[in-house]
Structure 1
């Protein structure tokens, strides 16, 4: 299922969710040259279409790149405009997310929703360190507010555990999250929610960003409390930081798309 949610290139599904790995896969073939001069957005019957020199831009599966709101379409258009001599999809995270929504999620919305619920059943925020005290405190500060929000706003009271041993979540809590997700099943919003969920390991963080309870940067930092603690005490690895930077870019792009979907 998760293969469907990864970027689509040359009509083929890419199976690695890691943005750096995707970039390596995409670099196996030469980047296409920029073939257009003007990028525009035109109103269509059901949304807004991105056009290149007056011709509709298309996904790898040859579907129109048509988004529900003008703001969302302008995000994709802006990424096309920013391309220079070559077209580098790695630098176009909103466009790639739109392709995923149109060519993949639109056909598999229920399966994508179920995948987000699977994340919720083992959500990052529910697994706490028992030591050292400094890490425990940071987790509490970054995560407890989101859990409180999920309980009050979604009606989802989740169980906590120490360490990595799986803890079962109440069926009622997962059902409440599913009920909250159901009205958010349009392909673009669902694709963005799934991406944020998979990048952070937390459906609750993704839903908090979508609801405006947390901004994307705060959610991103919350998802990396443990990693940042390790970096402070043991140093950082340049390759790991490059992967993290690429994933952060995709996270912020997903949040921008959700914000744009809320604006007519």
Structure 2
């Protein structure tokens, strides 16, 4: 059974269209750097990024205030690293922060609902019936994550063989929603990105909880794909798409780590 994939409505800046980003980067001239100094100031809304002493605004004109000093310093580092022009493709944490403030914070329930929808068709719940090696690999990697979800979140998911939809218990999906509603906009943004990029809300939630490391989470989401690569070899175009997705996944994982640092 090949790796399942899904597409939700998503967020314009979250889980981006990587082809569009590449086109925009090369088809449109990059804006000139207009500032000399980058700094972080502590204020009422958390930690504020300033350029030449002036607060930075998001695309929707919200002030770029962040809840974590570590995150604010990392975002400041992205701005400070720009040369004569400003390249948004080289500023993944800034893009995620903009998404959190502009798209997630105004309506967190919508994002919680989207993540819970992914949980309802989670990658980890759809198993192969052959060959034995793939079945064993799926069980070894995915079963502990399902057990963690039941233990830590109270979300007990039902695994099935094949790709025919397996409805998940309403109580489990509600447990996911309740768990997520306690998260702030920045954390939800990271979880949403990790979910859409892996096809698994369970993997994303385990990553956020520190139950699984980023490289382990990425590998868990690609058990089927890696098995196929072992059988048929690598495909350059598919590898390029996967590498581009991993860049975005790594940014989401880094955002979670920076938020945990405080």
Normalised to the residue count of structure 2, the TM-score between the two structures is 0.91
Partner of 2:227: 229
Aligned equivalents of 1:190, 1:22: Cα separation in 2: 22
**CA deviation string 1:198-247 (max 9, x = no partner):** 00000001100111100111101110111111222222222322221121
Partner of 1:5: 11
8 A Cα contact 1:113 1:181, kept in partner: yes
Q: Which aligned segments of 4 or more residues in structure 1 are displaced greater than 4 angstroms?
A: 1-4
**CA deviation string 1:28-84 (max 9, x = no partner):** 321112222222111111211111222222212222211011111112111112222
State whether structure 2 residue 189 is matched by structure 1 residue 183.
no
1:185-204 to 2 correspondence within 5 Å? 186-204=184-202
Aligned equivalents of 2:62, 2:122: Cα separation in 1: 34
Partner of 2:213: 215
1:230-245 to 2 correspondence within 5 Å? 230-245=228-243
Partner of 2:132: 133
Give 5+ residue unaligned stretches, structure 2. 1-6
State whether structure 2 residue 22 is matched by structure 1 residue 23.
yes
Aligned equivalents of 1:209, 1:7: Cα separation in 2: 21
Give 5+ residue unaligned stretches, structure 1. 9-15
SS at structure 2 position matched to 1:49: strand
Partner of 2:113: 114
Q: 1:248 to 1:196 in 2, by over 3 A?
A: same
Partner of 1:246: 244
**CA deviation string 1:111-134 (max 9, x = no partner):** 100000000000000001111111
Q: 1:220 to 1:227 in 2, by over 3 A?
A: same
Does 1 or 2 have the higher relative contact order (CA < 8 Å, sep 6+)? 2
How far did 1:93 drift? 1.1
Aligned equivalents of 1:181, 1:62: Cα separation in 2: 26
How far did 1:86 drift? 2.3
8 A Cα contact 2:48 2:72, kept in partner: yes
Partner of 1:53: 52
8 A Cα contact 2:126 2:159, kept in partner: yes
Normalised to the residue count of structure 1, the TM-score between the two structures is 0.91
How far did 1:6 drift? 2.4
Aligned equivalents of 1:95, 1:127: Cα separation in 2: 35
Number of equivalenced pairs: 256
